[in-house]
């Protein structure tokens, strides 16, 4: 992989973000996701790579495009694994809330974990606590380690946790320990990455979320020098069998960052759809002028680029509203 591929990938997330942002707050999550998926798949045709989707919109018989196993790219350039979430936060966009993004992770062929679409237990920290935390440790011990390594008092730490009933025990224990809790609704890729970016003020991510999102997050965490541990959390025997079919015999095994993203190189790119902690959302500035805010990072060089772009979209997809007719 090379730096040119990293910049090409940003064009793909930008296209998905612009398409889905037109549905912000309209209450139509399926339409928003379809718009993002179509725009992302179309833009992939111009990317100089030989890509195979390993995490996408579903199995071939479930998704018309960006399905698992689909070949994408120009059929020239490096052979790579592709993990995509054209719209991370479909409910966010439908309701007009913050922190929706279009995200992609790219890595050398055979290096991204082919995570099944199920739950995954996750623990994520930034660079200062990398290599020192374990997902099996009590949350109280983890908090002490993170406080020591970040040179913060426990009461000044911020632990980000998805606002779900399954996390109530963790929330209660974090509060009892004296640390601060920040709850979020949807979009755990952005929440995970926030732990490794100092300006967010987030020190630790803990909880159960989607496994595909976990692998995408891992690419970014590796590029930022953070650390992540995970464990698949099948809810029934059918999901456990799905894990075994994919070569994961023991679902209780701890997955390290290097299990999630093997090798020393990966690219992560994201473009904001609605404004959040990491990125600003798409802004329609009038006429055909549109502004996007993106981030792209590469693990091999630890380079992180923030890209704000203006797009002249002469053929921007248009939503037909009643007053347009």
Q: Can you say which residues are annotated as belonging to the binding site for substrate?
A: 88-90, 119, 164-166, 186-188, 210
If you ran DSSP here, which 8-state letter would residue 75 be given? Answer: S
Binding residues: 33, 57, 85, 88-90, 119, 164-166, 186-188, 210, 213
d(CA 145, CA 122): 17
> Which ranges of 52-126 does DSSP label H, i.e. alpha helix?
90-95
* Three-class DSSP labels, 175-228: HHHCCEEEEECCCHHHHHHHCCCHHHCCCEEEEEEEHHHHHHHHHHHHHHCCEE
Binding residues for Mn(2+): 33, 57, 85, 88, 213
Of 20, 4, 186, nearest to 89 by C-alpha is 186
How many CB atoms neighbour CB 108 within 10 A?
17
CB burial string 4-40: b at 16+ within 10 A, e below: ebbebbbbbbbbbbbbbbbbbeeeebebbbbbbbbbb
Q: Enter the tokens of residue 137.
A: 């440790």
Helix (H) or strand (E) segment spanning residue 305: strand 303-312
CB 10 within 8 A of CB 61: no
Of 307, 213, 217, 319, nearest to 7 by C-alpha is 307
């Amino acid at each position: 992989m090379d730096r040119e591929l990293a910049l090409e990938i940003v064009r793909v997330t930008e296209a998905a973000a612009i398409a889905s942002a037109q549905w912000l707050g309209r209450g139509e999550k399926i339409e928003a996701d379809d718009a993002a998926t179509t725009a992302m798949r179309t833009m992939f045709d111009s990317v100089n790579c030989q890509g195979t989707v390993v995490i996408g919109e579903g199995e071939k018989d479930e998704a018309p495009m960006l399905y698992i196993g689909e070949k994408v790219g120009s059929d020239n350039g490096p052979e790579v694994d592709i993990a995509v979430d054209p719209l991370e936060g479909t409910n966010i966009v439908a309701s007009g809330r913050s922190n929706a993004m279009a995200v992609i992770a790219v890595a050398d062929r055979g290096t991204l974990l082919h995570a099944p679409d199920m739950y995954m237990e996750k623990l994520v920290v930034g660079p200062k606590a990398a290599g020192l935390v374990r997902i099996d440790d009590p949350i109280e011990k983890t908090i002490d380690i993170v406080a020591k390594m970040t040179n913060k008092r426990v009461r000044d730490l911020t632990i980000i946790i998805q606002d779900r009933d399954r996390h109530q025990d963790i929330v209660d224990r974090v509060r009892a320990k004296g640390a601060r809790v920040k709850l979020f609704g949807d979009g755990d890729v952005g929440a995970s990455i926030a732990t490794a970016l100092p300006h967010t003020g987030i020190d630790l991510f803990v909880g159960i979320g989607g496994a595909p999102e976990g692998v995408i997050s891992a690419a970014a965490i590796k590029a930022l020098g953070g650390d992540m541990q995970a464990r698949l959390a099948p809810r029934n025997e059918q999901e456990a069998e799905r894990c075994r079919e994919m070569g994961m015999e023991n679902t209780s095994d701890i997955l390290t960052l290097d299990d999630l993203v093997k090798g020393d190189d990966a690219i992560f790119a994201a473009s904001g759809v609605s404004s959040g902690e990491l990125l600003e959302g798409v802004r329609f500035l009038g006429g055909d002028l549109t502004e996007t805010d993106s981030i792209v990072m590469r693990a091999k060089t630890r380079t992180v680029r923030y890209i704000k772009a203006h797009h002249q979209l002469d053929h921007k997809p248009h939503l037909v509203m009643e007053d347009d007719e």
